[in-house]
Amino acid sequence: MSGSPEPIPIARPDIGPREEELVLEVLRSGSLSLGPMGPRFERAFADWVGVRHAAAVSSGTAGLHLLAHLAGAGPGGEVITSPFSFVASANCALYTGADVVFADIDRDTFNLDPAAVEAAITPRTKAIVAVHIFGLPCRIEEIRAIADRHGIAVIEDAAEALGARRQRRMVGTTGSPAVFAFYPNKQMTTGEGGIVTTDDDAVYEAILSLRNQGRADSGQWLAHDRLGWNYRMDDLSAAVGLAQVERLDAILASRAAVADRYGALLAGLDGVELPVAVPGDTRSWFVYTVLLDPAVDRDAVIGLLAARGVASKPYLPAIHLQPLYRDRGHRPGELPVCEAVSARCLALPFFGSLTAGQQERVAAELAAILADPPLR
């Protein structure tokens, strides 16, 4: 008799010998921060994306904060973003003292609805944080056109969208500064870390200073031109990042293959809606989520999957219904599309080394549960 099968985790980073080799190189060099590895990683990343500048930071959240600050967000200002995102897309505005204004999402893509964004603009709006959720590009050119008409900055939260393309253009190269993130569940990782990409020399120079305690680029270590932060990325993290960029095409391809397999395994399963494709756009696979029938008790399904050794997550919870945002006055009913999607969305185990056998098990367990589903 074999025991119960190995539990299947929700995410796993793809780390190999090249990551170990480059980390060891940094350790032996003695330059653990502000050494040569940071710029090597940044150059490789910028070249891969196809953008002029990339400035590494300590997290995606830090990058969003710096861009919100540069956009002029502050007390009395407002920043518009999606309620169907990771909380950092909204918190970056609160760090500056600005208020967050949520615009509802599109029912199929889960991305910001440009018409809802336009309706949310007020004379106090300073910036729009346009999120590319679950690696599917948002309608960034429409959002930029709206922002340009109103003289508002656009920040792209591309934390989940490394390698995605909007109408053939790589996310991060469509004109607004963008932030990518490297927490271990993202397409590529540096442990903790993030990066800001831009074609704008002034934005790039400003990020270099702001991430480094507001230092002048005069090279004088103790000259501080303005208030900055310590949002630097260390060279050990950059070493992992460089190795990941070298292997990025293969990393993304293995994730896409796993997503395709789920698509085949789950097609036709009653009561489950699969992720949409948008003609002309390329999704970069960050998570694999399905929408359950509204009558099904999604959270009970998560418990039943866990009992069968399959990790899953209610993903994403609506930001405006988090306690922090309820305390700021937000209530259920405010953003009905987001709330409906958020209540039904289920993230399944997803990473590049997930085997066909593991995926068959996930699909079979989900099908077995949904044959006689727990109801709300």
Ligand X SMILES: *Cc1c(COP(=O)(O)O)cnc(C)c1O
CB of 227 to ligand X, least distance (A): 21
Work out whether 54 is an interface residue with ligand X (CB under 6 A): no
Cα separation, 244 vs 364, in Å, equals: 33
CB of 232 to ligand X, least distance (A): 14
What the block records as the tokens of 75 is 């007390």
Other beta carbons within 10 Å of 368:
12
CB of 347 to ligand X, least distance (A): 12
Of 132, 186, 232, 344, the catalytic one is 186
Which of 14, 26, 61, 346 touches ligand X by CB under 6 A? 61
Cα separation, 261 vs 282, in Å, equals: 17
CB of 287 to ligand X, least distance (A): 9
Strand partners, 345: 291
Work out whether 59 is an interface residue with ligand X (CB under 6 A): yes
Work out whether 60 is an interface residue with ligand X (CB under 6 A): yes
Work out whether 177 is an interface residue with ligand X (CB under 6 A): no
What the block records as the tokens of 24 is 């060891």
Among the listed ranges 115-123, 155-163, 258-266, 366-374, the one in contact with ligand X (CB under 6 A) is: 155-163
Q: Read off φ and ψ for residue 367, nearest 5 degrees.
A: -60, -40
Distances (CA, A) of 147 to 127, 168, 308, 325, 357: 8, 22, 48, 25, 47
Among the listed ranges 31-39, 57-65, 68-76, 245-253, the one in contact with ligand X (CB under 6 A) is: 57-65
115 alpha carbon, distance to own chain's centre: 23
What the block records as the tokens of 31 is 């330059």
Active site residue 186: yes
Write out the binding residues for ligand X, residues 240-259 only, by CB under 6 A: none
Work out whether 131 is an interface residue with ligand X (CB under 6 A): yes
Q: Measured at CB, which residue is nearest to ligand X?
A: 60
Work out whether 352 is an interface residue with ligand X (CB under 6 A): no
Cα separation, 342 vs 22, in Å, equals: 40
Residue 94 or 131 having the CB closest to ligand X: 131
Work out whether 70 is an interface residue with ligand X (CB under 6 A): no
Closest by Cα among 49, 51, 20 to 239: 20
Work out whether 99 is an interface residue with ligand X (CB under 6 A): no
Q: Are 177 and 204 in contact (CB under 8 A)?
A: no
Helices 37-49 and 235-246, axial angle in degrees (round to 10): 30
Q: Are 180 and 197 in contact (CB under 8 A)?
A: yes
Which of 160, 234, 339, 365 touches ligand X by CB under 6 A? 160
Work out whether 85 is an interface residue with ligand X (CB under 6 A): yes
CB of 154 to ligand X, least distance (A): 15
SS3 263: helix
Among the listed ranges 5-13, 65-73, 153-161, 272-280, the one in contact with ligand X (CB under 6 A) is: 153-161
Cα separation, 244 vs 18, in Å, equals: 8
Work out whether 113 is an interface residue with ligand X (CB under 6 A): no
Counting residues that bind ligand X (by CB under 6 A) gives 14
Among the listed ranges 16-24, 80-88, 143-151, 265-273, the one in contact with ligand X (CB under 6 A) is: 80-88
DSSP category for residue 134? G
Among the listed ranges 4-12, 156-164, 266-274, 341-349, the one in contact with ligand X (CB under 6 A) is: 156-164
Closest by Cα among 109, 102, 154 to 132: 109
- Tokens 């500064």, residue located: 177
> Which are the catalytic amino acids?
186
Contact residues for ligand X (CB under 6 A)? 59-61, 85-86, 88-89, 131, 157, 159-160, 181, 183, 194
